[in-house]
Amino acid sequence: MEMYEARRALVLAGRRLLETGLTVGTWGNLSCRAGEHMLITPSGMDYAALRPAEIVLVNLSSLEWTGQLKPSTETPLHAAIYRARPEVNAVVHTHAVFSSALAAARRDLPPVLDDLVQIIGGGVRVVPYALPGTNELVSHALGGLEGRMAVLLANHGAVCLGRSLEEALMVAQVLEKAARVFLLAQALGGAVPLADEDIVFMREFFLHRYGQRQDEVSSGSGAQKDSLRPSEKHMEGETTGGGAA
């Protein structure tokens, strides 16, 4: 039944992508880790009509899948991210307008806002173009994701990671807002990027202190219980990945 809950969460998250304008029609895809497997949305399926039973179960190593429908064409990308990034438990791929504008212009998103650098770890890189579903796209995306929770795929859209599905959705929303703010700021004379040391501080603050519950603060325990809690082991050093190239 735990698997059913995860399938249902993906269906609801897909609807939220549509409702919040982060994607349109059947574009974009979402997944979450399920042990040695992942659960992923099927290829070309309307989010409004998608049912939990139609979410596809895919082996992370072999990419063999079980389900009524074919998994998303970006299945190799999602699986490669889970293999490469143990702290990541959810991946959301969007075709959001302002993120896509930067991707179309092949312009990196500089680290221009506090919330952006807290949740993503710095500016967001655009990686060179590759056709969807190819190994080339996978390798470009993994490179661009180094030390970051998001990447822009040239002329395509965004890939957003999270330690939970909620966090991956939040990454997608914060990225889209920052892309929008950046474009507006360009009209006001140009956005001013944050300093590297401030980015490191903000990221550390987000990972280790932000959102801490009062009972955890007072008891000093329970740090591993909440899925949104930072995993210190995995996230350590992520902030030192350097600025967006």
Interacting residue ranges for Zn ion, rule: CB under 5 A: 157
**Residue (of 57, 31, 29) closest to 43 by Cα position:** 29
Shortest spacing between CB 121 and Zn ion, in angstroms: 22
| Residue 74: active-site member | yes
DSSP letters spanning 23-52? S-TT--EEEEEETTEEEEPBTT--TTT--G
Q: Degrees (nearest 5) of the Cα angle 1, 235, 213?
A: 65
Please, which residue, 132 or 242, has the CB nearer to Zn ion?
132
Please, which residue, 117 or 137, has the CB nearer to Zn ion?
137
Please, which residue, 137 or 191, has the CB nearer to Zn ion?
137
Amino acid at 206: F
Shortest spacing between CB 159 and Zn ion, in angstroms: 9
The answer to whether residues 75 and 153 touch, using CB atoms and an 8 Å cutoff, is no
Shortest spacing between CB 150 and Zn ion, in angstroms: 14
Shortest spacing between CB 152 and Zn ion, in angstroms: 12
Sheet containing 150-153: which strands, arranged edge to edge? Answer: 65-66, 56-59, 37-40, 29-34, 90-94, 157-162, 150-153, 126-127
- State whether residue 152 is helix, strand or coil: strand
- State whether residue 244 is helix, strand or coil: coil
Shortest spacing between CB 158 and Zn ion, in angstroms: 9
d(CA 28, CA 53) in angstroms, rounded, equals 19
Q: Which residues lie across from 20 on neighbouring strands?
A: none
Instruction: Point out the catalytic residue in the list 2, 19, 54, 74.
Output: 74
C-alpha distances in Å from residue 142, one per residue of 25, 78, 108, 158, 168: 26, 10, 16, 13, 16
Please, which residue, 157 or 193, has the CB nearer to Zn ion?
157
Instruction: Output the residue with the shortest Cβ distance to Zn ion.
Output: 157
Q: What are phi and psi of 50, to 5 degrees?
A: -65, 135
Please, which residue, 27 or 201, has the CB nearer to Zn ion?
27
Query: Which residues are tagged catalytic?
Result: 74
